[in-house]
A and B are shown apart, each in its own frame.
Chain A
Amino acid sequence: AQSVTQLGSHVSVSEGALVLLRCNYSSSVPPYLFWYVQYPNQGLQLLLKYTTGATLVKGINGFEAEFKKSETSFHLTKPSAHMSDAAEYFCAVKETSYDKVIFGPGTSLSVIP
């Protein structure tokens, strides 16, 4: 069965520092992988996704993630945090074309001025 683990329910970084949000998944086949961001009282917005091809995926707002099959990981990074990056971040996975999307528990990112 698919599952998603996000290490660290809360991460704090200083403005301008590197952002690293961790995501590990379990899947029996090469999965589709996603990162979503949720701002307070809003729905989810897709940051980036991996389906096939290049394992380094670039998304919106300067975020990127690398699919590492050997480590079953899909960590999200951003070189320099901005105050506007403070939000909840969800990693998600699905195994097949029409499979349901399984979300991780989320990581709350705080950016300290």
Chain B
Amino acid sequence: DAGVTQSPTHLIKTRGQQVTLRCSPKSGHDTVSWYQQALGQGPQFIFQYYEEEERQRGNFPDRFSGHQFPNYSSELNVNALLLGDSALYLCASSLDMGGEETQYFGPGTRLLVL
């Protein structure tokens, strides 16, 4: 059983560019959450997708957007990249169980903005 997978593993972009990160959830999971983890810090919640809709959003600007597909996979898009967007981006999937679900994390995509 494949766990959560993310692609690419590493990415280098320059300021002002746009980037798309991808996530495939664990088999049977229907909910995908995205987190940004800056170096030396804990993950910060970006948003969560359920039934192809954004259900929750953290304190991130509109430059951060996402999408969930019918097969539950998800994309995170970041426009107009800033140096401060350099971080490890983590995807977590879960099965909606009314709050007691466990989130399973992928290995992350490390983004470097130059």
The answer to whether A and B come from one shared complex is yes
The interface residues of chain A lying within 8 Å CB-to-CB of B35 are 103
Q: How far is the CB of A92 from chain B (nearest CB, A)?
A: 8
Taken together as a complex, chains A and B put the C-alpha atoms of A104 and B44 apart, in Å, by 9
Interface 1/0 per residue, B32-50 and A, CB below 8 Å: 0101000011111100100
B-side interface size class: 20 to 34
- CB within 8 Å: A-B pair count: 55
Interface 1/0 per residue, A33-52 and B, CB below 8 Å: 00010000111111001010
The interface residues of chain B lying within 8 Å CB-to-CB of A80 are none
The interface residues of chain A lying within 8 Å CB-to-CB of B98 are 97
Taken together as a complex, chains A and B put the C-alpha atoms of A52 and B5 apart, in Å, by 30
Q: Is the CB of B102 within 8 A of A46?
A: yes
The interface residues of chain B lying within 8 Å CB-to-CB of A97 are 98-100
Q: Is the CB of B48 within 8 A of A44?
A: no
Q: Is the CB of B41 within 8 A of A101?
A: no
Q: Is the CB of A43 within 8 A of B106?
A: yes
CB of A63 within 8 Å of the partner chain: no
The interface residues of chain A lying within 8 Å CB-to-CB of B55 are 98
Q: How far is the CB of B100 from chain A (nearest CB, A)?
A: 5
Taking a contact as CB atoms closer than 8 A, the residue among B40, B45, B48, B106 that contacts A102 in the complex is B45
> Which residue of chain B is the closest to A45 with respect to CB atoms?
B105
Interface residue ranges, A against B (CB under 8 Å): 4, 32, 36, 41-46, 49, 51, 90, 92, 96-106
Taking a contact as CB atoms closer than 8 A, the residue among A42, A46, A98, A103 that contacts B44 in the complex is A103
Q: Is the CB of B103 within 8 A of A90?
A: no
Q: Is the CB of A99 within 8 A of B103?
A: no
The interface residues of chain A lying within 8 Å CB-to-CB of B108 are 42-43
A-B contact pairs, 6 of them (CB 8 A): A4-B42, A44-B92, A44-B105, A98-B99, A101-B45, A102-B45
Q: Is the CB of A99 within 8 A of B56?
A: yes
